[in-house]
Every structure is written in structure tokens, then in C-alpha cells.
Structure 1
Amino acid sequence: MALTLTVSDEVKALAPGFTHLTVEAYGLVNGPSTDDSSALLDDAARRLAERLGGRAPHEDPHMAAWREIYTAFGAKPSRTRNSAEALAKRALAEGGLPRINALVDAYNAISVAHLIPVGGEDLDRIAGGMRLVRATGDEPFVTVSAGEERTEHPDAGEVVWRDDEGVTCRRWNWRQGPRTRLTEESVNAVFLLEALGPMTSGELEAAGAELAESLEKLSPGARITVHAPRRAVPSA
């Protein structure tokens, strides 16, 4: 059964130019980072440097748009960067991008190469559908700090991804919770690519197609479906 994914009217009103694309994959084979997944990250860092041409990541028009949206719902974008900007900064810094596991490496590479927030969720750990909403402030967000599990709550009005159990990602695409993240045991996953106004549907589709191609190479035989971009149009 395909994952149900919805965007609330409050979020649509906040960001009418928001568009998202999902890639669903079943029968994946994950494991520690490989030479192939590491090469994807190295190539992504090279492409990012060419794209920016000496500029800082936040000077890219797409990253600037995300900063405006973060400010609109009360976040401080210089302190809590969207996932793509945070990865881009690491890609350009000494030491480069971290190697996590093969699947995470693959979607992080797409995020950096295309400067687009990309998330990966374990479909077997999602409770019900996923919803992008503005938080009430009461929703649980289970995270790990200093090796111990603890429960936080988002700020009221904060944009979050959530399922039936609670928040899966805070501040839109800033921090993912450990409950649904992709581990070396994950076999079924959904990848979410998120774009704002400066990024065209064609550019979003190209990023999704490249991710699907990488997944097919890393997990031959996996069943992969790229869903067409969906724009968050406010209700009349």
C-alpha cells in the first residue's frame, strides 16, 4: 500500500510555492557506506562547488527561499539551517560530508548536488500517513541526547512532519527523529524531496530521477516508484 502524505492548509497558506516529490522503494539492501556510496558524496561535493562558484550556500536562491520560510514560521535560519544548507556547509568544509550508510549517503548526495532538502524514512516505522502541519506544541518528538532517549515538543506554529505517533522531523526539514530514520536494517523506504519557488518542477523531477537511479544501482532488484511532483495549492 502506498504511503499517504498530506500537506495541511495552514502550511499551504504559509508556502504556496512549496512542491514535493516522493520516491518509494521496496526491497532495498542497506548496509555500511561503500566505495560506491562514498563516490556519490564526493561527486556531489564537486558539483556543489561548481554550482556555487565561490558563493556561500545560503546565497543560492533556493536556499534563500528556505531561509525566508523558516523566518516566516518563527525559526532562526542562521541557527537552525534547513537540511540541504547544513549538508552543503559540511560538504565545503574540511573533512567533507559524513558517511552514514549506503542509503543515507545516496540521498545526501542528491541533496548536496541539487541543493534541495531530501529526507529518507523507514516505511516500516511510520505509523499511519505522514502529514506536514503547523504544530500545536503538544506533539511528542522523541530524540536522543547524550546517549539517552528524551521527548521534546515543537514550538507552537512550527512546521513539522508527523505521523500517528508524533513528530518525525522538526522545523520542516531541520532535524529528523531517530524512530523513522534509515538504518542498516531498513528494507522499505520513502524519500521526500522538497522544493520552493526558485526550483522548477523539471529540476525537482531530475533530482528524483537521479535518486531513483542511485538506489537501483545500490540495491539491484528493488521496486522503485517516482511519484510526480505535487504543489501545495491553498484551498479556496
Structure 2
Amino acid sequence: MFFQHSSDIWRDFPELVPGALYAEGITADAVPGARIAAHAERATARLAGASEGELPEVQAWRRTFTRMGLKPTQYRCASEALLRRFRKEGSLPRLHPLIDLCNAVSIGYAIPIAVFDVSRITSYVEVRHAAGDETYLTFGGETEHPPAGEVIFADAEGRAHARRWTNRQSGHSAVRDTTANVLIVAEALHDTAARDVESLLATLTDELNGLWPVTPKSAILTPAAPRFEFPGQ
């Protein structure tokens, strides 16, 4: 299996820095509370000096959404949405230890992170423009068809595992209690994205190693090396 971005995405967004990580052996019984709190403290400190919409990481995604023809205050990248909720409520809901951890790392870095159950993916995931015939399963169980041209995460069966690039994931490949093997993707476009995504991947690797008996594999992708390969199911 593999993860990659289409050549069109690299052409249109040359500033993109994607990081990908694969891990096996995830379970639902880990207790990441202290680790989550540490990343939440970092987010709190950053929000004390600026709103989430003023952070350079979020501003870069707002510009990207505008370029895609989306109103950035209507459709927010995942990290902005999480930061906004965190600022208003002081915490994030607990869903699954891996999701809770990734959400905490996401608000700490202000970078969107997607997590996919590999067993629910067919052959590959490619970030590309939709053809218009793909299917997307909402968390409420409804099926949608992203319009042609929308940036989606698509697999070999035409399933859209995320819509509007970093806006919303699909319920089909969401992490659940039975999830064991995962693909984690972090993407950034701001000026220090290369340094920050490298730091984020290192942080995630350390956190995963501290919670599960896993040996994560990760890489930062580039136009010259755009594909991240990982074991299939």
C-alpha cells in the first residue's frame, strides 16, 4: 500500500510539506492523559498570544482554502477547528487514545493531522482532485459525492477518506476500538513547515512508542520522493 499526492497537487501547492507515519499494534486501552495535557499546555500558551486564525500554520491553510474556492471561515482545516473548540471549551472530547493523542499534538503544533484505519483502505490513499463519482461516508452514516475538482483523499475503490483536503475525514476509515494498524498524515504549508513537520513526526513517534509496543515508520514527502509505502492488510 502507499500514500501520495497527485502531481497536480504538487504543481499547485509547491510549498506543501506532508509527513506520513505508519504504525502497527495500536489498541484502545492506552492511557495518554499526561501526554495530552502537555500538548494542550503548548496550545494554551500559543492561544494566549494570538487567536487560532492568526497563527501562521492556520493562515497558510486559510489561504489554501481560498485558492480552492472555499470560504475559509466556513470550511476550516482540522487543526483550526480543533483549536477553536479548545479555546472555547478548554478541552477536547475523548474519543480513542490514539485520536485523543493526535488531536492534542495537532493543537500543539497547529497542524492538521489525519488518522486512518489501514484495514478500511483499498490499495492506496492519494490526495487528488475528485472526479465527481467518488463516495464519502459521513460520521452520521450518510453517503455524499464530492464534486469534481474538490481535493480529497481517495483510495483504489473511489472512496473519499477525507473531503476538502484537511477539512473533514470520513467515517468509513475512522479509528475505532478494533483498529490495529494506522496511517497518520500531517500536512503544512507555512514558512517553517519543513522544520515543524519533522518535529511533529518525531514527537508522534516518541509518544506512540511510550503508549504502545510499536515501531513507527515515517517520512517527509517531496515532489522528488512523493510516495510513502507501508504494509497492506
Scaled by the length of structure 1, what TM-score is found?
Answer: 0.89
Spell out the pairing of 1:134-173 with structure 2 (5 A cutoff).
134-145=129-140, 149-165=141-157, 166-173=159-166
Q: 1:197 aligns with which of 183, 190, 215?
A: 190
Shift of 1:163: 0.6
Q: 2:119 aligns with which of 124, 131, 149?
A: 124
Residue of structure 2 in register with 1:82 after alignment = 77
Residue of structure 1 in register with 2:227 after alignment = none
Residue of structure 2 in register with 1:96 after alignment = 91
Q: Which runs of 5+ in 2 are unaligned?
A: 225-233
Question: 2:177 is matched by which residue type in structure 1?
Answer: E
Residue of structure 2 in register with 1:42 after alignment = 37
Residues 19, 232 of structure 1: 8 Å contact kept: no
Residue of structure 1 in register with 2:231 after alignment = none
Q: Encode CA deviations 1:2-32: one digit per residue, 9 max, x unaligned.
A: x31121122112211111111110122224x
Q: Distance in 1 between the 2:223 and 2:68 partners?
A: 16
The SS at the match of 1:231 is coil
Spell out the pairing of 1:187-226 with structure 2 (5 A cutoff).
187-219=180-212, 221-226=213-218
Shift of 1:203: 1.6
Q: Distance in 2 between the 1:119 and 1:73 partners?
A: 19
Residue of structure 1 in register with 2:222 after alignment = 231
Question: 1:172 is matched by which residue type in structure 2?
Answer: W
Residues 137, 153 of structure 1: 8 Å contact kept: yes
Range with bigger deviation, 74-83 or 50-59: 50-59
Q: Encode CA deviations 1:152-187: one digit per residue, 9 max, x unaligned.
A: 011221111111231000000111111111111111
Residues 38, 99 of structure 1: 8 Å contact kept: no
Question: 1:29 is matched by which residue type in structure 2?
Answer: T
The SS at the match of 1:194 is strand
Q: Distance in 2 between the 1:153 and 1:43 partners?
A: 39
Q: Distance in 2 between the 1:158 and 1:199 partners?
A: 26
Shift of 1:136: 2.1
Q: Distance in 2 between the 1:189 and 1:59 partners?
A: 31
Aligned residues: 224
Shift of 1:95: 4.6
Residues 56, 190 of structure 2: 8 Å contact kept: no
Q: Distance in 1 between the 2:139 and 2:85 partners?
A: 22
Q: Distance in 2 between the 1:116 and 1:151 partners?
A: 27
Q: Distance in 2 between the 1:144 and 1:46 partners?
A: 29
Residue of structure 2 in register with 1:26 after alignment = 24
Q: 1:181 aligns with which of 170, 174, 179?
A: 174
Residues 17, 231 of structure 1: 8 Å contact kept: no
Residues 20, 195 of structure 1: 8 Å contact kept: yes
Scaled by the length of structure 2, what TM-score is found?
Answer: 0.90
Q: Distance in 1 between the 2:177 and 2:15 partners?
A: 35
Give the % identical residues: 30
The SS at the match of 2:185 is strand
Alignment RMSD, CA only?
1.8
